[in-house]
Amino acid sequence: MIKFRFIVSIAAVVALSVKLCFSACARAEYEVNGECCPICAPGNHVYWDCSIDTSTTCVACPASTYSDEPSSLETCLAFTHTRNLVNKVCTRSSDTVCGPLERFYCIEKKKDCCTLAVQHSECSPGQYIKQAGTGATDNVCADCTGDTYSNGSFSSCLQHTICEALGLTETNPGTHSSDTKCGNPSTVVARITPSVIVTLILIPVIIVFIFKHIRKKNKLTRPEPHRESCGVPQGSILAPLLFSLNMLPLSQIMRKNQIG
Protein backbone atom coordinates (compact mmCIF):
# COMPACT_ATOMS: atom_id res chain seq x y z
CA MET A 1 0.00 0.00 0.00
CA ILE A 2 2.77 2.38 0.94
CA LYS A 3 4.64 1.45 -2.21
CA PHE A 4 1.60 2.22 -4.33
CA ARG A 5 1.17 5.68 -2.77
CA PHE A 6 4.84 6.50 -3.38
CA ILE A 7 4.51 5.57 -7.06
CA VAL A 8 1.41 7.75 -7.43
CA SER A 9 3.20 10.74 -5.86
CA ILE A 10 6.15 10.41 -8.22
CA ALA A 11 3.82 10.18 -11.19
CA ALA A 12 2.00 13.36 -10.12
CA VAL A 13 5.25 15.32 -9.80
CA VAL A 14 6.44 14.15 -13.22
CA ALA A 15 3.10 15.06 -14.81
CA LEU A 16 3.21 18.56 -13.26
CA SER A 17 6.77 19.11 -14.47
CA VAL A 18 5.82 18.07 -18.00
CA LYS A 19 2.85 20.44 -17.94
CA LEU A 20 5.01 23.35 -16.76
CA CYS A 21 7.64 22.67 -19.39
CA PHE A 22 5.14 22.62 -22.19
CA SER A 23 3.26 25.69 -20.91
CA ALA A 24 6.43 27.86 -20.52
CA CYS A 25 6.96 30.37 -23.37
CA ALA A 26 10.01 30.29 -25.57
CA ARG A 27 12.90 32.69 -25.13
CA ALA A 28 11.65 35.07 -27.84
CA GLU A 29 8.11 35.10 -26.46
CA TYR A 30 6.23 36.59 -23.54
CA GLU A 31 3.12 35.28 -21.84
CA VAL A 32 -0.22 37.12 -21.79
CA ASN A 33 -3.38 35.49 -20.41
CA GLY A 34 -1.87 32.04 -20.81
CA GLU A 35 -0.84 32.74 -24.39
CA CYS A 36 2.77 33.00 -25.56
CA CYS A 37 3.19 36.06 -27.76
CA PRO A 38 6.23 36.89 -29.90
CA ILE A 39 8.31 39.78 -28.61
CA CYS A 40 9.08 42.82 -30.75
CA ALA A 41 12.40 43.41 -32.48
CA PRO A 42 14.82 46.23 -31.48
CA GLY A 43 13.51 49.63 -32.55
CA ASN A 44 9.88 48.58 -31.98
CA HIS A 45 7.41 48.24 -29.13
CA VAL A 46 4.25 46.20 -28.54
CA TYR A 47 1.10 47.87 -29.84
CA TRP A 48 -1.31 44.92 -29.44
CA ASP A 49 -0.72 41.67 -27.63
CA CYS A 50 -1.30 38.49 -29.52
CA SER A 51 -4.46 36.40 -29.33
CA ILE A 52 -5.48 32.92 -30.39
CA ASP A 53 -5.95 34.12 -33.95
CA THR A 54 -3.41 36.99 -34.24
CA SER A 55 0.25 37.57 -33.52
CA THR A 56 1.77 40.43 -31.58
CA THR A 57 1.36 43.79 -33.27
CA CYS A 58 4.62 45.78 -33.12
CA VAL A 59 5.18 49.39 -34.22
CA ALA A 60 8.33 51.48 -34.61
CA CYS A 61 9.53 53.60 -31.72
CA PRO A 62 8.42 57.24 -32.06
CA ALA A 63 10.86 60.13 -32.38
CA SER A 64 13.40 60.64 -29.56
CA THR A 65 12.83 57.11 -28.24
CA TYR A 66 14.55 53.77 -28.76
CA SER A 67 14.49 50.07 -27.96
CA ASP A 68 17.93 48.50 -28.19
CA GLU A 69 16.97 44.84 -27.65
CA PRO A 70 14.04 42.47 -28.34
CA SER A 71 11.39 43.11 -25.72
CA SER A 72 7.73 43.13 -24.80
CA LEU A 73 7.79 46.82 -23.83
CA GLU A 74 4.67 48.76 -24.64
CA THR A 75 6.64 52.03 -24.82
CA CYS A 76 10.16 52.76 -26.00
CA LEU A 77 12.86 54.37 -23.88
CA ALA A 78 13.69 58.06 -24.14
CA PHE A 79 16.99 59.14 -25.70
CA THR A 80 19.74 60.24 -23.33
CA HIS A 81 20.21 64.00 -23.64
CA THR A 82 23.68 65.30 -22.83
CA ARG A 83 25.80 68.41 -23.10
CA ASN A 84 28.87 66.29 -23.60
CA LEU A 85 30.52 65.26 -26.83
CA VAL A 86 28.21 63.05 -28.93
CA ASN A 87 30.17 60.22 -30.53
CA LYS A 88 27.15 58.52 -32.12
CA VAL A 89 23.69 59.94 -32.66
CA CYS A 90 20.83 57.93 -31.17
CA THR A 91 18.54 55.83 -33.39
CA ARG A 92 15.32 53.83 -32.86
CA SER A 93 17.42 50.80 -31.93
CA SER A 94 20.27 52.44 -30.00
CA ASP A 95 20.71 55.16 -27.42
CA THR A 96 23.07 58.09 -27.74
CA VAL A 97 26.74 57.13 -27.56
CA CYS A 98 28.59 60.06 -26.04
CA GLY A 99 31.74 61.01 -24.24
CA PRO A 100 33.02 64.10 -22.42
CA LEU A 101 34.08 67.24 -24.25
CA GLU A 102 37.74 68.08 -24.75
CA ARG A 103 39.56 68.82 -21.45
CA PHE A 104 36.79 67.03 -19.52
CA TYR A 105 36.57 63.52 -18.11
CA CYS A 106 33.56 61.38 -17.23
CA ILE A 107 32.67 60.56 -13.62
CA GLU A 108 29.22 59.03 -14.25
CA LYS A 109 28.02 56.85 -17.13
CA LYS A 110 24.77 55.33 -18.30
CA LYS A 111 25.49 52.42 -20.59
CA ASP A 112 27.50 53.91 -23.45
CA CYS A 113 26.89 57.56 -22.61
CA CYS A 114 28.60 59.88 -20.15
CA THR A 115 25.99 61.58 -17.99
CA LEU A 116 28.30 63.71 -15.82
CA ALA A 117 31.74 65.11 -16.63
CA VAL A 118 34.13 67.54 -14.95
CA GLN A 119 37.02 69.58 -16.30
CA HIS A 120 40.57 68.29 -16.06
CA SER A 121 42.51 69.69 -13.11
CA GLU A 122 45.02 72.45 -13.91
CA CYS A 123 48.59 72.07 -12.68
CA SER A 124 49.99 74.94 -10.62
CA PRO A 125 52.99 77.08 -11.73
CA GLY A 126 56.10 75.12 -10.84
CA GLN A 127 54.41 71.86 -11.88
CA TYR A 128 54.12 70.02 -15.19
CA ILE A 129 51.52 67.60 -16.57
CA LYS A 130 53.10 64.23 -15.85
CA GLN A 131 50.19 62.30 -17.33
CA ALA A 132 47.63 63.99 -19.54
CA GLY A 133 43.99 63.40 -18.71
CA THR A 134 41.68 61.42 -20.97
CA GLY A 135 37.93 61.10 -21.28
CA ALA A 136 38.01 58.77 -18.27
CA THR A 137 40.93 60.08 -16.16
CA ASP A 138 42.11 63.40 -14.72
CA ASN A 139 45.47 65.12 -15.26
CA VAL A 140 48.37 63.98 -13.06
CA CYS A 141 50.74 66.78 -11.98
CA ALA A 142 54.34 66.66 -10.69
CA ASP A 143 56.78 69.29 -9.35
CA CYS A 144 59.72 70.69 -11.32
CA THR A 145 63.17 70.04 -9.85
CA GLY A 146 66.66 71.47 -10.34
CA ASP A 147 67.21 74.33 -12.80
CA THR A 148 63.88 73.79 -14.57
CA TYR A 149 60.55 75.60 -14.73
CA SER A 150 56.95 75.25 -15.91
CA ASN A 151 53.94 77.57 -15.90
CA GLY A 152 51.64 74.61 -15.20
CA SER A 153 50.63 73.85 -18.79
CA PHE A 154 53.85 72.15 -19.98
CA SER A 155 54.10 68.40 -20.45
CA SER A 156 57.64 68.56 -19.04
CA CYS A 157 59.75 71.12 -17.19
CA LEU A 158 62.08 73.26 -19.32
CA GLN A 159 65.69 74.17 -18.56
CA HIS A 160 66.39 77.75 -17.50
CA THR A 161 67.87 79.96 -20.21
CA ILE A 162 71.62 80.57 -19.81
CA CYS A 163 72.00 84.27 -20.62
CA GLU A 164 75.80 84.15 -20.98
CA ALA A 165 75.47 81.57 -23.75
CA LEU A 166 73.40 84.10 -25.70
CA GLY A 167 75.81 86.96 -25.09
CA LEU A 168 73.38 88.55 -22.65
CA THR A 169 73.42 89.38 -18.97
CA GLU A 170 71.07 87.86 -16.39
CA THR A 171 68.68 90.43 -14.94
CA ASN A 172 66.41 88.11 -12.92
CA PRO A 173 67.22 84.53 -11.88
CA GLY A 174 64.86 81.75 -12.92
CA THR A 175 62.51 79.92 -10.55
CA HIS A 176 60.51 76.70 -10.81
CA SER A 177 57.60 78.73 -12.20
CA SER A 178 59.44 81.18 -14.51
CA ASP A 179 62.45 81.32 -16.82
CA THR A 180 65.58 83.37 -16.33
CA LYS A 181 65.27 86.94 -17.61
CA CYS A 182 68.12 88.28 -19.73
CA GLY A 183 69.08 91.77 -20.89
CA ASN A 184 71.66 93.49 -23.08
CA PRO A 185 74.90 94.36 -21.26
CA SER A 186 74.46 98.07 -22.16
CA THR A 187 71.02 98.01 -20.60
CA VAL A 188 72.39 96.46 -17.45
CA VAL A 189 75.19 99.06 -17.24
CA ALA A 190 72.67 101.84 -17.80
CA ARG A 191 70.64 100.52 -14.90
CA ILE A 192 73.67 100.17 -12.62
CA THR A 193 75.37 103.54 -13.45
CA PRO A 194 72.82 105.86 -11.77
CA SER A 195 72.93 103.85 -8.57
CA VAL A 196 76.74 103.91 -8.57
CA ILE A 197 76.80 107.70 -9.07
CA VAL A 198 74.34 108.27 -6.26
CA THR A 199 76.39 106.03 -3.98
CA LEU A 200 79.63 107.86 -4.78
CA ILE A 201 77.97 111.20 -3.96
CA LEU A 202 76.39 110.05 -0.73
CA ILE A 203 79.50 108.42 0.76
CA PRO A 204 81.59 111.68 1.05
CA VAL A 205 78.57 113.61 2.34
CA ILE A 206 77.99 111.03 5.04
CA ILE A 207 81.68 111.00 6.00
CA VAL A 208 81.80 114.83 6.31
CA PHE A 209 78.61 114.85 8.38
CA ILE A 210 79.97 112.21 10.75
CA PHE A 211 83.31 114.06 11.10
CA LYS A 212 81.62 117.38 11.93
CA HIS A 213 79.33 115.70 14.42
CA ILE A 214 82.27 114.06 16.23
CA ARG A 215 84.26 117.32 16.24
CA LYS A 216 81.33 119.29 17.69
CA LYS A 217 80.78 116.66 20.33
CA ASN A 218 84.44 116.76 21.36
CA LYS A 219 84.31 120.57 21.79
CA LEU A 220 81.29 120.34 24.04
CA THR A 221 82.78 117.64 26.24
CA ARG A 222 86.42 119.02 26.43
CA PRO A 223 87.24 120.34 30.05
CA GLU A 224 88.26 124.03 30.43
CA PRO A 225 92.03 124.33 31.31
CA HIS A 226 93.06 125.87 34.72
CA ARG A 227 94.41 129.40 34.47
CA GLU A 228 97.81 130.15 35.96
CA SER A 229 99.40 133.59 36.32
CA CYS A 230 103.06 133.83 35.51
CA GLY A 231 103.71 130.40 36.69
CA VAL A 232 101.98 131.05 40.05
CA PRO A 233 99.46 128.41 40.79
CA GLN A 234 95.95 129.35 41.73
CA GLY A 235 95.33 129.53 45.46
CA SER A 236 98.78 131.05 46.19
CA ILE A 237 99.00 134.25 48.31
CA LEU A 238 100.74 135.95 45.39
CA ALA A 239 97.90 135.37 43.05
CA PRO A 240 95.86 138.51 44.00
CA LEU A 241 98.91 140.69 43.63
CA LEU A 242 99.76 139.33 40.27
CA PHE A 243 96.15 139.71 39.21
CA SER A 244 96.14 143.40 40.17
CA LEU A 245 99.38 143.95 38.34
CA ASN A 246 97.97 142.39 35.27
CA MET A 247 94.98 144.69 35.46
CA LEU A 248 97.06 147.92 35.75
CA PRO A 249 98.54 149.59 32.71
CA LEU A 250 102.30 149.53 32.33
CA SER A 251 102.58 153.38 32.67
CA GLN A 252 100.89 153.34 36.06
CA ILE A 253 103.24 150.69 37.31
CA MET A 254 106.30 152.72 36.21
CA ARG A 255 104.88 155.89 37.82
CA LYS A 256 104.43 154.12 41.11
CA ASN A 257 108.02 152.94 40.94
CA GLN A 258 109.32 156.51 40.39
CA ILE A 259 107.32 157.90 43.32
CA GLY A 260 108.47 155.16 45.53
pLDDT digits (tens, 9 = 90+) for 28-75: 999 998 889 999 999 999 999 999 889 999 999 999 999 999 999 999
Which has the higher per-residue pLDDT, 236 or 95? 95
Cα angle 120, 126, 129; round to 5:
35
Integer-rounded Cα radius of gyration of the chain: 56
pLDDT of 10 above 70:
no
> pLDDT of 93-129, one tens digit each?
988 888 888 899 999 887 778 888 899 999 999 999 9
Which has the higher per-residue pLDDT, 228 or 199? 199
Q: What pLDDT does 186 receive? A: 64
Q: E strands, the chain, where?
A: 29-32, 35-38, 44-48, 57-60, 65-66, 77-78, 85-88, 97-99, 104-110, 113-119, 127-131, 140-143, 148-149, 158-159, 169-172, 181-183
The pLDDT-based confidence of 225 (bands split at 50, 70, 90) is low
Phi, psi for residue 217 in degrees, rounded to 5: -65, -40
Q: What pLDDT does 137 receive? A: 95
Q: What pLDDT does 67 receive? A: 94
Q: What pLDDT does 115 receive? A: 81
Q: What pLDDT does 220 receive? A: 66
Give 78's strand partners: 65
30 plus 53 within the same structural domain:
yes
103 plus 63 within the same structural domain:
no
Q: What pLDDT does 11 receive? A: 46
Q: What pLDDT does 190 receive? A: 54
Do the domain assignments include residue 94?
yes
The pLDDT-based confidence of 221 (bands split at 50, 70, 90) is low
40 plus 65 within the same structural domain:
yes
Which has the higher per-residue pLDDT, 2 or 51? 51
Do the domain assignments include residue 230?
no
State how many domains the chain has.
Answer: 2
Do the domain assignments include residue 103?
yes
pLDDT of 23 above 70:
no
Which of 60, 95, 119 terminates a domain? The answer is: 119
> pLDDT of 145-198, one tens digit each?
999 999 999 999 999 999 999 999 999 999 999 999 999 876 555 556 677 787
Which of 91, 119, 147 terminates a domain? The answer is: 119
Q: What pLDDT does 112 receive? A: 75
Range of the domain at 85: 81-119
Do the domain assignments include residue 29?
yes
CATH number of the CATH domain containing 46: 2.10.50.10
Q: What pLDDT does 14 receive? A: 44
Q: What pLDDT does 193 receive? A: 65
Decide if 63 contacts 78 (C-beta within 8 A). Answer: no
d(CA 188, CA 196): 12
Q: What pLDDT does 80 receive? A: 82
